Amino acid sequence: MRLEKVIWMFPIALTLHNLEESIWLPAWSQHAGFWESPVGPAEFRVAAALLAILAYGVAYWSIRAGKQAIGTYAMTGFVFAMLLNMIYHVAATLGLHQYVPGVVTAGTLGDLAKSTAGIRRDSSSHSPSDPCSFLGRSVYLNFPD
């Protein structure tokens, strides 16, 4: 798969994730306790929309700038942040023993984040998931043209 397609899959998956959260998270947050501060529907939906717009902008910047440009590193950071968000959703679901808004699409987003953030065979280390490769280098630098 071409790099551009992989990059565009991320903001699309993020948009679906934000839609899931926008529907159920504001009401859920009112009784989530430790796991989430209460948030109103309007505030959350505006923030989710702005985050999605930012994701599309960063994806475009990454594609236009090239593999070793700041835009691509920004995209890698964004993907890593969403991977951490997936971990939060799973932890909250396990901790509360109930559905946490966003957990369904977080799994998809997490899989996409793992595939685009560098957990794959690294050509220099020949290690399937070298942590230094994951944090220090992105798959974009190794992605075949």
* Size of the chain, expressed as the number of residues it contains: 145
pTM of the full predicted structure?
0.74
Residue 89 phi/psi, 5° resolution? Answer: -60, -45
End-to-end Cα, the chain, rounded Å: 10
pLDDT in tens, 98-124: 999 989 888 776 666 555 554 344 434
Q: Per-residue pLDDT for the chain (145 aa), expressed as one digit of tens each?
A: 687 888 898 899 999 999 999 999 999 999 988 888 999 999 999 999 999 999 999 999 999 988 788 988 899 898 888 889 889 999 999 999 999 998 988 877 666 655 555 434 443 444 444 343 343 343 444 444 4
